[in-house]
Structure 1
């Protein structure tokens, strides 16, 4: 009975979502204020019902109700309670329900926190969100219900959660990623509502910007934690493999990053309006495309959900309706959009626009590399592979001008600039960059390749340029305290974001260039050297977890005769399904990681082990955290919580 209650709650939510799609849009079209004012209540009711349905799924999972097909396929009685909760989004049906939860929460937040918007725009934004909710609820109820029963025959034990997903990172990675994915639907809805209203002015960009920043922050945090999960869980010491599913999250992030900067220019200068709207449409369209890639069954990946073709066809059809309809609306209204501001070639506007182009080109490269092998195979032309070297090379080329402009942009003024003072400042910064990079690399490493030097110099350039701009803005005031207080939250977000990018570039460069690994066969008591560290294999001990058994290889690490740490690398065998998993042992540090993975048993008591030394790898996730935090601090800016005058509020 309880699963049926959860399903019925979704049916009711679908009804409210349908009304949310119809009432406010019709009310905005006809000028009926009563219909428009019904939208917030419908959004809140829809959210309550969807969240209740998800709580029902969690409850029946915790209760080990194996009469429900989803619970039987993705959980087990021996699974720890926190992984039972994780299993509610560890499979296709539960993940779609989690998507609905995020969609309904974002819709409710817009309804509650957008009271300052004119009713026409507010109603249309909620109406578009209602339409998106209808599409995904219809998909859930019709093709992906997590409440289907196995009666009258059901198993006495579940199949267990995929061992790859039994990791702390997977407890928080999917919800954060979905918050970012679905949050971009708010930016999309604002863009469509503005097109319908015909008012693509600076105020629209101001309203849309905090929602976009929040979604971008969640998406950044989700990608960062996903990278950390891949590094710590998959046992091969990698953090990004250009997997199609990884690319599916990267593409909307790249476009959303361009959208944020474009919204800033539109808000402050009244330019790039049509470009900004197109970016908002594209960002969410790529989220839908990513959903199709993950859930259509056309790829094989540790991240993907292999599902039947009918589900993929439904998502593809919905994608065509959303993208086709929004682009058609854009085509009919874009001719009415005019830029208000004027600017010269040497200006902040142009610099931000050029970096927008680099981000879009990077997105097209990822899109091409992801979809071309799939299309080639579906057309019966055979299999082709576009691998890691292609993506690495193309991104390395784009990173150089992008990073240079990233350092320059904050120093430029809006509209126009005088070049001689800027050139003098840039020459000084370039000299400082070269000196610091040279001192850093040649004091840390014996050999420095030219490409490694250039890439590291780009990271140093961004950091120094950002610090210099911060100092110049603070120093014009009477004291340091006064200067720091005068800086707005948007500026601090820019500083954190750019510093985070510098950390990521430095980490990717140095980790890729100087990581070393060694595969060894060791008996208890034997040692192996890697860089300046000595690894002594102390043997293997049996381990027992709540739903697995196995062995842990014990390795003591020494440096210059002093003990550094003791590592326990595990080889687990899960009781249900008898699946084997490698759990790497990691001694993390700010400047390096010691990474150990246990292989297979060999003859005469020996075991195979893989040892990695990975310098500066932690900077990657530190940079990701700084970038994501930059997206959140803007939300506290009072400029985005201002009231709109009452006559506008009642506009119909």
Structure 2
């Protein structure tokens, strides 16, 4: 009965989405308040129905109901509770229900908290959001029904893919979808604005909080996914330029450009065309990522499905959504006013440069991701585009962008003074240069450009600090006064500084681990010792461990430095009992911001085992920086000036008659 309730809830949600997609839009065009008022309750009702479907699927997993095909294919009665829950979205069908749940959730948020939006705009936004929900609900019901039954249910399930049975993969998809799907709101606002023919600073104010929330989710989702791949796959890398990784990175780049463009539009009523186009393209890239993961055109540890029929359906959705939005954009673009005028040297100019470089970088990633697929489709030839291509094309675009970032907040709106901004940043530049020289001296003989990259990271951090000190006049006034001014700065100013600092921290981590990591791959027997960057690693032996649905062979490696023991690493070879599939659990010891990283390979007949050992300097800064970025986004989002909508004008009170 539980699966039938879930399936029926999806059917009702689809019907309600059709109603929501038509009536409010028709009401907005006719000025019919009754029809427009259908949108908020329909959006909330649609969310509740999809939530019921999602919970029913979760109940089926918790009960190990193997009469449901989806549960049988992706669960096992011995699987731990956490992974029974995460198994709901650890497959194509369940993850699509989660996708639509988050989509409906964002629509419900607009319905509940968008009360200050103009009635016609809110109705149109919710109608566009319902279009998206309706086509994806149709996709689920038509090609990806998670509630299909088995006539003669088996006694046991096939188990979830072992590499997905991890805490990181339990939280990575919901966070990533929060970003992917969250950008649908920006898309819906853009399409609604084009339908209404109204694109102004108020529109940018309304759309910016939703974009910022989605950006925070996507930033954290990419970070969690990166760390999961780092420790779970045993390859020792944090980013592989995998096409599916790129599929999440491209919306992040476009979304970052959209955020900055929306700031200019809100403050100066400029860059309207840029902002609308970026809102469309950002969600379009999210849809592209959905297509790549589920179409079968890629083979990756990240992919969910390989059914071409599903791929064609999603491709049709992609073409209709992107093609329709761009057609509407082309129709309305000529009527969009240019807005405020500004000099090239100004804060607007700096943000335009930011957008140009970010979109160029996004274009490079897009070409590197899709070109091999297009070439194979046309000629049948298979090529691999990996780190050498992206290192040679992506990095040169990002370097000038990173150098320019601290200048933007120091420039005035409309017309800035580059010389004055440079003077304010002289201390930051001097310290960054000293960091660069120190890095070169410390790692003398290493890669020549690595100290430059570390210096750029320091420049970003110090530039963000300089912005706060300049705005609060911390060193040009009494300390107590300066601190009060700093505390009184808008939260968006603090959020921006934290996000820029986070970029700098991540850059330092990326450069340090890429340039200076030490790798040792060797066959070891119990009692053998190897040296890794001055650390002595001794393999003491192995011991078995029986988990709830797996069996481990745990390695014990003692770590010493200068003869003194500093810890033990326990890399593991794991075999899952249901599938017989082996996985690797790495042994990691964190020392400051650096890590020792050890993974075990296959054993041989002579009793030795392949050991892959790394020393990764400052590697944790990569993910610490993304935390800074996310916190910065959340702090900015908490700024009262970024509350959703704009306040309605208070009605003028009638004068009180004199007595």
**Structure 1 length normalisation: TM-score?**
0.97
8 Å CA contact 1:183, 1:215 repeated in 2? yes
* Counterpart contact for 1:442–1:448, Cα < 8 Å: no
Gaps of 5+ in 1: 648-652
Distance in 2 between residues matched to 1:526 and 1:412, nearest whole Å: 60
Question: In the aligned structure 1, how far is the partner of 2:29 from the partner of 2:454?
Answer: 55
Structure-2 separation of matches of 1:549 and 1:588: 26
Report the counterpart of residue 543 of structure 1 in structure 2.
Answer: 545
2:582 to 580, 583, 592: 580
Q: Which residue of 2 aligns with 1:58?
A: 58
Q: Secondary structure at the match of 1:298?
A: coil
Alignment of 1:240 onto 2:239: yes
The answer on 1:463 being equivalent to 2:461 is yes
1:218 Cα deviation after fit: 0.3
Q: Distance in 1 between matches of 2:351 and 2:109?
A: 30
Give the equivalent residue in structure 2 for 1:497: 499
Tell me, what secondary structure is at the counterpart of 2:341?
Answer: coil
Give the deviation of 1:387 after TM superposition.
1.4
Q: Secondary structure at the match of 1:442?
A: helix
Match of 1:363 in 2: 362
Name the counterpart of 1:650.
none
Shift of 1:426: 4.6
1:560 corresponds in structure 2 to 562
Shift of 1:486: 2.4
2:231 and 2:507 mapped to 1: Cα distance?
Answer: 20
Look up the SS of the partner of 2:270 in the other structure.
coil
Query: 2:310 matched to 1:284?
Result: no
SS of equivalent to 2:188:
helix
- Aligned partner of 2:186 in structure 1 is 187
Structure 1, residues 23-70: CA drift from partner, whole Å, max 9, x if none? 110100111001111111001111111001100000011111111000
Cα displacement string for residues 123-174 of structure 1 (whole angstroms, at most 9, x for unaligned residues): 00100001100010000111101000111x2221111010110111011100
CA distance in 2, matches of 1:635, 1:434: 34
Q: Which residue of 1 aligns with 2:177?
A: 178
Equivalent residues of 1:589, 1:618 under 8 A apart: no
In structure 2, list runs of 5 or more residues that go unmatched: 652-659
Matched, 1:40 2:40: yes
Query: Deviation of residue 636 (structure 1)?
Result: 1.6
Report the counterpart of residue 644 of structure 1 in structure 2. 648
User: 2: distance between equivalents of 1:142 and 1:228?
Assistant: 35
| Mapping of residues 141-152 of structure 1, within 5 Å | 141-151=141-151
Checking the alignment, whether the CA contact within 8 Å between 1:343 and 1:416 is kept in structure 2 is yes
- Measured after TM superposition, the shift of residue 446 of structure 1 is 4.0
Matches within 5 A, 1:70-149: 70-149=70-149
How many angstroms does 1:448 deviate by?
3.8
Greater mean alpha carbon deviation, residues 596-605 or residues 133-142: 596-605
Contact 1:66–1:157 (CA<8 Å) still a contact in 2?
A: yes
Q: For structure 1, which segment, 530-539 or 421-430, has the greater mean C-alpha deviation from structure 2 after superposition?
A: 421-430
Note the C-alpha offset of 1:440.
Answer: 4.1
The correspondence of residues 246-395 of structure 1 with structure 2, limited to 5 A, is 246-395=245-394
**C-alpha deviation, 1:441, in angstroms:** 4.5
Q: What is the deviation of 1:488?
A: 0.6
Q: Is the 8 A contact 2:531 2:537 kept in 1?
A: yes
Structure 1 stretch 471-480 or stretch 237-246: which is displaced more?
Answer: 471-480
Q: CA RMSD in A?
A: 1.5
- Residues in 1 aligned to 2:262 and 2:141: alpha-carbon distance in whole angstroms: 36
Quick check: 70-79 or 456-465, which moved more?
Answer: 456-465
Q: Does the aligned pair in 2 maintain the 1:300–1:306 contact within 8 Å?
A: no
Q: Matched residues in 2 for 1:427 and 1:568: separation?
A: 48
Q: Following the alignment from structure 1 to structure 2, what is the Cα–Cα distance between the partners of residues 622 and 432?
A: 22
Structure 2 match to 1:157:
156
Shifted more, 597-606 versus 21-30: the winner is 597-606
User: Post-superposition shift, 1:481?
Assistant: 3.0
**1:214 corresponding residue in structure 2:** 213
Counterpart CA distance in 2 for 1:132 and 1:488 is 35
Q: Paired residue for 1:473?
A: 471
Question: Equivalents in 1 of 2:636, 2:465: separation in Å?
Answer: 20
Counterpart of 2:654? none
1:497 Cα deviation after fit: 0.7
Q: Measure the CA separation in 1 of the matches of 2:477 and 2:392.
A: 45
